[in-house]
Amino acid sequence: MTRAGGSPLGLHRVLEPAGVLPQAAWRLDPDPRIWPDEVRVRVDRLNLDAASFRQLRESCGGSAAAMRAAVTDIVASRGKMQNPVTGSGGMLTGVVAEAGPGSLLGLAPGDRIATLVSLSLTPLVIDDGLARWDGRTEQVPCAGHAILFGRSIATVLPDDLPGPLALAVLDVCGAPALTHRVVSEAARRAGGPGGTGGPVVAVLGAGGQSGSLSAAAARRAGARRVIGVVPVESEAAALRGAGLADPVVIADARDPVGLAGAVARAGGPADVTVVCVDVPGCEGGAVLATAEGGTVIFFSMATSFTAAALGAEGAAADVTMLIGNGYVPGHARLALDLVRAEPGVREIFESRVEEP
Amino acid sequence: MTRAGGSPLGLHRVLEPAGVLPQAAWRLDPDPRIWPDEVRVRVDRLNLDAASFRQLRESCGGSAAAMRAAVTDIVASRGKMQNPVTGSGGMLTGVVAEAGPGSLLGLAPGDRIATLVSLSLTPLVIDDGLARWDGRTEQVPCAGHAILFGRSIATVLPDDLPGPLALAVLDVCGAPALTHRVVSEAARRAGGPGGTGGPVVAVLGAGGQSGSLSAAAARRAGARRVIGVVPVESEAAALRGAGLADPVVIADARDPVGLAGAVARAGGPADVTVVCVDVPGCEGGAVLATAEGGTVIFFSMATSFTAAALGAEGAAADVTMLIGNGYVPGHARLALDLVRAEPGVREIFESRVEEP
């Protein structure tokens, strides 16, 4: 069939409401017939966003059957996997089935790839009812197809890393990249990396996937001290063993005063605070744990915009608050490099990622 | 009565859930008896946040009685005016009734003040059922009392400006202050204010209160061009008359492609985009209207964190996205100075603020 050129942002796939970007749309058209600049992918695995996975697990009471039904229902009704509660998606891996003649993504049939844009804007059809997913991890074995637009960034999976590990790393690769940029700038302002003036960085949720990568990125970018904050002793022990943060402190990030006190005692307040937890209600604590003139980077999809804005105002805290943009040039390469170079990061990922 | 010292952040006023900051709390204790570092204010006027006012008006079908009931119900059940849908509040004016001996706010009984922290964290009791509010504007005549904590910033109202005008200006004073800071930094990087290298700034909602102040602040900070974006011709005419933006363009900020095209034709993309609209769904457009490496500042309380984060990722847009912090040192002074110095700002405010 012949079609005029599609929109590189995928506007031609938006069914409702009309005119919005695919991420903001309620429903997309996942028709497998591609437009000239599109790519169709045979999906083999979804990686749900951490906030979305937690919400699904909790609302389903941990029942795998209920979780399978919830995800397949969302995808059937919306044409994409975007959790209506959290608004977030995740990413996927698969094999390129067809690349349109106008695609600029550089992909060819047979390439094993991971998407670097969110599932929340990726047209998707599930064919197997997710029968192989046991609901225990956010990695979901899946048969189906997905569509990449002209500007839907994807990367060929590396040969030297297991697929599930690479998928988990790529899913959160925006966090270490933006952390690296912000900490590097703070280090430059403070007199250069390696000097005694490097910034103090606190990573909330440093025992998790985006948190461990962000901690490693902060150190590489010249942090004088990386304070790793985790909720429980088991995570603290794993993080200490991984050697990614020093000191490691246990605090509930939802308890603002407790968190700020713990970070202060560990050498804070932080010049840069990185929020990598997947629970709501951490905005106030992140602000209070941060020094005047410092920066908070919110990566958690459970972040509330108003809670952050009004929380900082209410505490008269002059802090810069960044919405964690999942796209930073070079993000995939940096994250894969960190997991290769830092055994501690790889340990944490391997302990959390189920082998296929 | 004797009380041990309160928390400067007001934690001792949080009834539920325990341990969170007042802004995040469901319910506060508005007991009129003050703690040693607190101040009690006799309230005469509330200024609802624009997103909250719009939500209330729409959900009440514009009925003044229903709006009065909605606000009094919220305040009676929560001990503060925080719209449960938008999460936002606003601010208030009143007269200091009592200042505790340990208060560091520098206020004395009889001072006419405005709060510079959100109503969403300010203990409040309404005594008059808001009988004098006609529901037509966000300024709500109100009798009652409010409590300021040790760190609840407030400012004595200026003598030279009408109270409702000053209140409206102070309510949004964080926006011009942060805009001024970000545009100044961009101008410095581009070779200094006044040079031909100053940044291009787009203000979405430039015909409104925070928007007009932000446009004036951007120009003062060295913007080479201030593109004012408004939704309708009547606002465009008012903004042109005010002389705060050049050019003025009409576009729907919820239509990403339309908005980005309009900003591009007006001399964009923008190096700095300032979002001052009060409707949801403007995240994608703001990102698309901004140049690679540029900055978006979100002041709208209708902003969705996930829509911004995933929208930028989905468009592979390397933009810095800031959560508009309502507190920037010197914010009240800058905003009052702008409304005094810029007749165009004052015109826009006076056309939108009802005289008492």
| Residue A1's pLDDT band (cuts 50, 70, 90) | very low
Q: Please, what is the angle between helix A50-59 and helix A64-78, to 10°?
A: 120
Q: Which ipTM score applies to this complex?
A: 0.88
Encode pLDDT of B229-276 as tens digits: 999 999 999 999 999 999 999 999 999 999 999 999 999 999 999 999
Encode pLDDT of A304-351 as tens digits: 999 999 889 888 899 999 999 989 999 999 999 999 999 999 999 999
Cβ atoms < 10 Å from Cβ of A138: 25
Mean pLDDT for chain A overall: 93
Encode pLDDT of A38-88 as tens digits: 999 999 999 999 899 999 999 999 999 999 999 999 999 999 999 999 999
Pairing of strands A90-99, A39-48: antiparallel
Residues 6+ away with beta carbon under 8 Å from A17: A25, A26
B312 and chain A in contact, CB less than 8 A: yes
Q: What pLDDT is recorded for position A192? A: 53
- Can you point out the beta strands (E) in chain A? 14-16, 27-28, 39-48, 90-99, 112-115, 124-126, 139-148, 154-156, 200-204, 225-230, 248-250, 270-275, 290-298, 320-323
pLDDT of B174 strictly over 60: yes
A279 and chain B in contact, CB less than 8 A: no
CA distance linking residue B208 with residue B204, whole number of Å: 9
Q: What residues does A28 pair with on adjacent strands? A: A14
Encode pLDDT of B96-131 as tens digits: 999 999 998 999 999 999 999 999 999 999 999 999
Percent of chain A with pLDDT over 70: 96
Is A9 close to B283, i.e. CB distance below 8 A?
A: no
- Closest residue in A to B117 (Cα–Cα): A314
Which chain B residues have a beta carbon less than 8 Å from that of A316? 117, 151, 153, 327
Q: What pLDDT is recorded for position A2? A: 40
Residue B220 in tokens: 């003062």
A255 and chain B in contact, CB less than 8 A: yes
B305 and chain A in contact, CB less than 8 A: yes
Is A327 close to B312, i.e. CB distance below 8 A?
A: yes
Q: Report which of B300, B258, B254, B250 is spatially closest to residue B275, judged by C-alpha positions.
A: B300
Is A309 close to B329, i.e. CB distance below 8 A?
A: no
Q: What pLDDT is recorded for position A277? A: 94
Q: What pLDDT is recorded for position B87? A: 92
Query: What does pTM read for this prediction?
Result: 0.89
Is B281 close to A322, i.e. CB distance below 8 A?
A: no
Q: Which of B303, B306, B312 sits opposite A86 (nearest CB)?
A: B306
- Give SS3 for A273: strand
CA distance linking residue B98 with residue B181, whole number of Å: 36
CA distance linking residue A81 with residue A123, whole number of Å: 8
CA distance linking residue B12 with residue B18, whole number of Å: 9
- Closest residue in B to A317 (Cα–Cα): B327
